[in-house]
C-alpha cells in the first residue's frame, strides 16, 4: 500500500496494481489461500479508493475497472496454482511422513519378529540341552517354603513324570539321604543370606530303593526393595559320574582280580595302625600269607585256572576274617592281613589255623580237583617292629621260616 501510494504519481494508470501483486503471492505461499484472498480483496479496495482516484480524470472509471478485473484474474489464477502446489506439497509431505512411519513400523516389526525367532530358537536349544543333559528346573519360594519342580526334576526325586509343587520340609527332606539333607538346606540358606549362587550335591533315596546323585545349581531372585523372594536353578543327575568316580577310586585302591585291597590301601591302613599304636599303646598282628604250590597249578593248568584259584582263595580268606580286619593282595599269590583289637598272640594263632584250614580244602575248577595249602608268617606290633617297614619285614621272615619248615603252617616273628 505504501509502495503504491509513493509510486502513483510516477507510474502510468493501472500500474499501481503491480505493487500489490508480490504481497498477495507471498501471502498465498506462506499463509494459504484464505489469507491470500483477504489480502487480494484489501488490495483491490485500497487501490480503488486510495490509488485510482488521482488517475480517474485521465483514465476514466472504465479503465480502472478493467485494470482491477485483470488484476483479480491474474491474482486468482496464481492463487489457484499456488494452492494446488501447497496441497501437492502437503500431500507429498504427508506421504513422506507416512512412508517414514511405515518404514519405522516395518523395521520395528522385523526386529521384533527376528527377536521372537531368536528367542524361540534359543528356547528350543535350551530345551534340547536340558533334555540331553537330563536336567530339571526348580524354583524355591522363600516366603512359603515350597518349591516348583519341572517334570525332569520331579522324576529325579521319584515324584512322577509331571511338574509338581512340593513343600521342602514335608516332601523333599524325607527323600534325601540323611547325611546330605541338612547340609544341602544349609547351603541353600547361606545362598539366600548372602545373595549368592548355590551349588550343592546330594543323594536322593528313590521309592524303589535306588540311590540317585543330584547336583543343584541355583541363583537368588530379589524384589524392587532388594529382598530375596526366591531361588531358581537347575538340577543335574550326576549318578553316572559319581559311580564312575567311585569305580576309579575303588580301582586305585583295590586288586582288579580279587576285589581285595591292594598294596596302596594296605600301606595306608598299616601306617594308620602304627600311628594308633604310638598314640594309644594298642597292639595288632600283621600276617603275611603265601599259597603253597600255586606256581605248579599255574604252570600246569594255565593262567585262567590260576586266576580262578586266586579268586576262590581270596573269597575263603575273606570269609574267615572279621569285618574290622583287613585282607589285601599285594602281588601274585601273596596276601597280607591286619588283625586289630584282639588279644595277642592267642587271637593271631587261632586266625592262622582257620586260614590254613579253609585254604587246604579241595577246589573244583574246570573239571580238575586242585589242592593247595597256605603258609603264614605273623608279626606283632609293637614288639616285632615300631614302623611299617620293620614290622612287614618281620612278618615276611616268619613266612619264609614257615615255608622252610614244611609249609601249610604258621610261624611268629622273633
Catalytic residues: 333
CB atoms within 10 A of CB 383: 15
C-alpha cell at position 122 = 534359543
φ/ψ of residue 44, rounded to 5 = -60, -45
CA distances, 118 to each of 109, 128, 130, 159 (Å): 14, 15, 18, 34
Residue 280, CB-side half-sphere exposure with 13 Å CA sphere: 9
CA distance 44 to 250: 116
Residue reference for cell 573244583: 364
Amino acid at each position: 500500500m505504501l509502495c503504491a501510494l509513493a509510486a502513483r504519481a510516477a507510474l502510468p494508470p493501472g500500474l499501481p496494481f503491480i505493487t500489490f501483486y508480490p504481497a498477495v503471492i507471498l501471502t498465498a505461499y506462506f499463509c494459504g489461500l484464505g489469507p491470500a484472498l483477504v489480502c487480494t480483496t484489501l488490495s483491490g479496495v485500497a487501490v480503488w479508493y486510495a490509488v485510482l482516484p488521482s488517475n480517474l480524470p485521465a483514465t476514466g472509471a472504465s479503465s480502472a475497472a478493467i485494470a482491477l478485473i485483470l488484476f483479480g484474474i491474474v491474482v486468482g489464477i496464481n492463487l489457484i496454482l499456488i494452492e494446488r502446489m501447497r496441497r501437492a506439497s502437503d500431500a507429498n509431505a504427508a506421504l513422506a511422513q507416512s512412508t517414514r512411519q511405515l518404514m519405522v513400523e516395518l523395521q520395528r516389526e522385523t526386529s521384533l519378529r527376528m527377536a521372537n525367532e531368536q528367542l524361540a530358537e534359543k528356547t528350543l536349544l535350551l530345551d534340547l540341552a536340558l533334555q540331553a543333559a537330563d536336567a530339571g528346573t526348580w524354583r524355591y519360594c522363600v516366603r512359603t517354603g515350597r518349591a516348583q519342580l519341572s517334570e525332569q526334576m520331579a522324576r529325579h526325586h521319584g515324584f512322577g513324570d509331571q511338574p509338581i509343587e512340593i513343600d521342602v520340609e514335608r516332601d523333599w527332606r524325607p527323600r534325601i539321604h540323611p547325611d546330605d539333607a541338612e547340609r544341602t538346606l544349609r547351603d541353600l540358606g547361606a545362598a539366600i543370606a548372602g545373595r549368592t549362587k548355590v551349588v550343592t550335591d546330594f543323594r536322593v533315596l528313590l521309592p524303589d530303593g535306588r540311590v540317585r546323585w543330584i547336583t543343584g545349581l541355583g541363583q537368588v531372585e530379589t524384589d524392587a526393595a532388594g529382598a530375596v523372594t526366591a531361588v531358581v536353578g537347575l538340577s543335574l543327575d550326576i549318578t553316572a559320574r559319581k559311580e564312575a568316580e567311585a569305580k576309579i577310586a575303588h580301582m586305585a585302591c583295590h586288586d582288579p582280580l580279587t576285589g581285595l585291597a591292594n598294596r596302596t590301601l594296605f600301606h595306608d591302613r598299616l601306617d594308620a595302625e602304627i600311628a594308633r599304636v604310638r598314640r594309644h599303646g594298642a597292639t595288632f598282628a600283621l600276617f603275611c600269607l603265601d599259597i603253597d604250590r600255586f606256581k605248579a597249578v599255574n604252570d600246569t593248568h594255565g593262567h585262567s585256572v590260576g586266576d580262578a584259584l586266586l579268586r576262590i582263595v581270596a573269597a575263603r580268606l575273606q570269609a574267615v576274617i572279621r569285618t574290622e580286619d583287613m585282607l589285601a593282595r599285594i602281588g601274585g599269590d601273596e596276601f597280607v592281613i591286619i588283625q586289630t583289637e584282639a588279644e595277642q598272640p592267642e587271637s593271631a594263632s587261632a586266625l592262622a589255623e582257620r586260614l590254613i584250614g579253609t585254604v587246604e580244602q579241595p577246589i573244583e575248577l574246570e573239571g580238575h580237583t586242585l589242592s593247595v595249602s597256605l603258609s603264614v608268617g605273623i608279626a606283632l606290633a609293637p614288639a616285632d617292629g615300631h614302623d611299617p617297614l620293620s614290622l612287614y619285614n618281620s612278618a615276611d621272615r616268619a613266612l619264609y621260616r614257615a615255608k622252610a619248615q614244611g609249609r601249610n603252617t604258621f610261624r611268629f616273628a622273633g
